[in-house]
């Protein structure tokens, strides 16, 4: 395991969660979201699990933040739920919802934790999904309105804010692969969602600047695209995957352009005059967050664009079946610095693994997680030593939680949660990280 003293003195260590995955959506007057209806549809989510109770963080946040602080973390990344704050997505504000984030913020500050907010981590209010959700071009403005409501309340106390978690998941995974809510598989829906999510990002940044909120960024996810061999058509498939996953959103935000390899498939379906939105999408920001977990092994597939087939790879895998490949994190940090952010601070805003964890005699031996985190922290250190302005690293996740379409089956937490009793048990990885953060 690394030690804190191996890193620059102002490097921040943190851990991350998201609203729907932990809070318990049934509490506090929150409105319905597209994850509630997606989860209620057979075949979408393992065990039909939803976020109605989750980790009951809504009532237990003090205890949970005590765990964050006791581990020695400097910062906590959380998200705000649109439907908790504005149950119908537009119009009346649910004061109880705002009060919750107000209390949460103060509770972080009381413990010396820097609050790192994400405005949207995937739960769209159902009333807005009914109006087309991310497919509707009005969504950027409505998201801007939501942003103002949240930030007028807690913005003065945030360390950092990012509008949207992982635009690739919001656009592609949810509208092309149908794996996440709203579960669509439609290229027109995908193209529009991919573009509108970036318009929403830019709108939120502009609204927050106008409110005087500081330290605004973007959080994108990355997956290393490895061709299965050197055959040109397999390499081309990997390059397309890389462009869709790793270059489209970064290109829009930092270079005001979309990669040709993506446009060749989606351009016919983009909204009219999409090029006119780049000044909004590419509005300057202060930092970039990288979420990184794994790599994919890719080959050519006959049929319709994007002609990509994913293959099982040879590396060790986590409980998600995801290959463990820490060199990929190093590569993405370098690429982000050299091709996109050009000197802005970079954070690793999510990294971690699912493991088959269970409590035995009060102990959870998750050595595999410890190894995973250590390997990725070494990749971070390597990039720091090459002069990249890396400013922090967040472990996903503080708690075992609602892992979206995999329900409660996959455990990513540093802290084990018994979903029957809500008992929290710090795992070995938590205890070892706590030691490392003291040294």
- Which residues are at the interface with ligand FCB (CB under 6 A)? 18, 21, 165-166, 169, 221, 291, 350, 396, 403-404, 412
In the bound state with ligand FCB, the residue whose beta carbon lies nearer, of 350 and 400, is 350
* Phi, psi (deg, nearest 5) at residue 394: -115, 130
Which among 304, 318, 253, 323 has a CA at the least distance from the CA of 282? 253
Q: Which residues pair with 120 in a beta bridge?
A: 164
Q: How far is the CB of 341 from ligand FCB (least distance, A)?
A: 20
β-strand partners of 289: 219, 347
Radius of gyration of the chain (CA): 20
7 versus 394: smaller Cβ distance to ligand FCB: 394
Q: How far is the CB of 234 from ligand FCB (least distance, A)?
A: 26
Question: 21 or 44, CB closer to ligand FCB?
Answer: 21
User: CB of 368 within 8 A of CB of 357?
Assistant: no
Name which of 121 and 300 has its Cβ closer to ligand FCB.
Answer: 121
Residues in the chain: 439
The H or E element that residue 293 is part of is strand 287-300
Question: Which has the closest alpha carbon to 419: 51, 30, 42, 37?
Answer: 51
Q: Any catalytic annotation for residue 166?
A: yes
* Half-sphere exposure (Cβ direction) of 324: Cα atoms closer than 13 Å: 17
Q: Closer to ligand FCB by CB, 64 or 277: give it.
A: 64
Q: Which one, 249 or 274, has the nearer CB to ligand FCB? A: 249
SS3 at position 69: helix
- Closest distance to ligand FCB from the beta carbon of 221 (Å): 5
Minimum Å gap between C-beta 169 and ligand FCB is 6
The DSSP H or E segment spanning 8 is: none
Q: Which of 142, 173, 194, 166 is nearest to 38 (CA)?
A: 173
**Alpha-carbon separation of residue 41 from 36, 53, 95, 183 (angstroms):** 9, 18, 30, 10
How many other CB atoms are there within 10 angstroms of residue 140's CB atom? 22
Residue 110 annotated to the active site: no
Residue 4 DSSP SS3 = helix
User: What distances in angstroms separate CA 61 from CA 65, 255, 379, one per listed residue?
Assistant: 6, 39, 32
Residue number, 94 or 351, with CB nearest to ligand FCB: 351
166, 223, 403, 432: which one is catalytic?
A: 166
Q: How far is the CB of 203 from ligand FCB (least distance, A)?
A: 21
Q: Which of 129, 350, 403, 432 is catalytic?
A: 350
Shortest Cβ distance from residue 22 to ligand FCB (Å)?
A: 10
In angstroms, the CA 179 to CA 310 distance is 15
Q: Report the nearest approach of ligand FCB to the CB of residue 394 (Å).
A: 11
**What values do phi and psi take at 328, rounded to 5?**
-60, -35
Contact 26, 33 (CB under 8 A): no
The catalytic residue positions are 166, 350
């Amino acid at each position: 395991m690394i030690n804190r003293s191996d890193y620059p003195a102002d490097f921040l260590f943190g851990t991350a969660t998201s609203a729907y995955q932990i809070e318990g959506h049934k509490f506090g007057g929150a409105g319905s979201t597209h994850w509630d209806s997606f989860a209620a549809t057979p075949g979408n989510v393992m065990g039909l699990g939803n976020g109605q109770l989750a980790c009951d963080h809504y009532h237990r946040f003090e205890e949970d933040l005590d765990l964050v602080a006791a581990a020695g973390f400097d910062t906590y990344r959380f998200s705000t739920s649109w439907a908790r704050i504005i149950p119908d997505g537009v119009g009346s504000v649910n004061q109880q919802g705002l009060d919750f984030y107000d209390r949460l913020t103060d509770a972080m500050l009381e413990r010396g934790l820097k609050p790192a907010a994400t405005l949207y981590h995937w739960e769209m209010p159902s009333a807005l999904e009914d109006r087309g959700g991310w497919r509707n071009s009005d969504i950027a403005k409505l998201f801007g309105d939501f942003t103002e409501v949240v930030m007028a309340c807690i913005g003065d106390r945030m360390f950092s804010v990012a509008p949207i978690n992982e635009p690739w998941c919001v656009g592609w995974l949810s509208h092309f692969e149908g794996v996440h809510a709203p579960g669509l598989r439609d290229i027109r829906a995908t193209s529009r969602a991919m573009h509108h999510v970036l318009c929403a990002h830019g709108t939120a940044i502009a609204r927050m600047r106008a409110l005087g909120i500081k330290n605004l960024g973007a959080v994108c996810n990355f997956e290393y695209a490895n061709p299965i061999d050197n055959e040109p058509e397999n390499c081309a498939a990997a390059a397309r995957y890389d462009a869709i996953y790793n270059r489209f959103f970064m290109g829009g935000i930092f270079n005001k352009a979309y990669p040709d390899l993506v446009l060749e498939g989606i351009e016919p379906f983009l909204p009219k005059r999409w090029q006119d939105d780049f000044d909004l999408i590419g509005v300057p920001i202060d930092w970039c967050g990288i979420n990184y977990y794994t790599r994919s092994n890719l080959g050519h597939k006959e049929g319709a664009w994007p002609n990509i087939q994913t293959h099982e790879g040879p590396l060790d895998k986590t409980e998600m079946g995801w290959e463990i490949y820490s060199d990929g994190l190093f590569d993405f940090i370098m690429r982000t610095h050299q091709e996109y952010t050009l000197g802005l601070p970079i954070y690793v805003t999510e990294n971690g693994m699912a493991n088959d964890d269970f409590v035995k005699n009060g102990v959870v031996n998750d050595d595999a997680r410890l190894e995973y985190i250590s390997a990725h922290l070494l990749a971070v250190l390597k990039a720091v030593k090459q002069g990249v302005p890396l400013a922090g690293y967040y472990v996903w996740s503080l708690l075992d939680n609602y892992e979206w379409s995999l329900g409660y089956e996959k455990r990513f937490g540093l802290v084990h949660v018994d979903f029957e009793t809500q008992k929290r048990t710090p795992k070995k990885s938590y205890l070892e990280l706590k030691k490392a953060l003291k040294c």
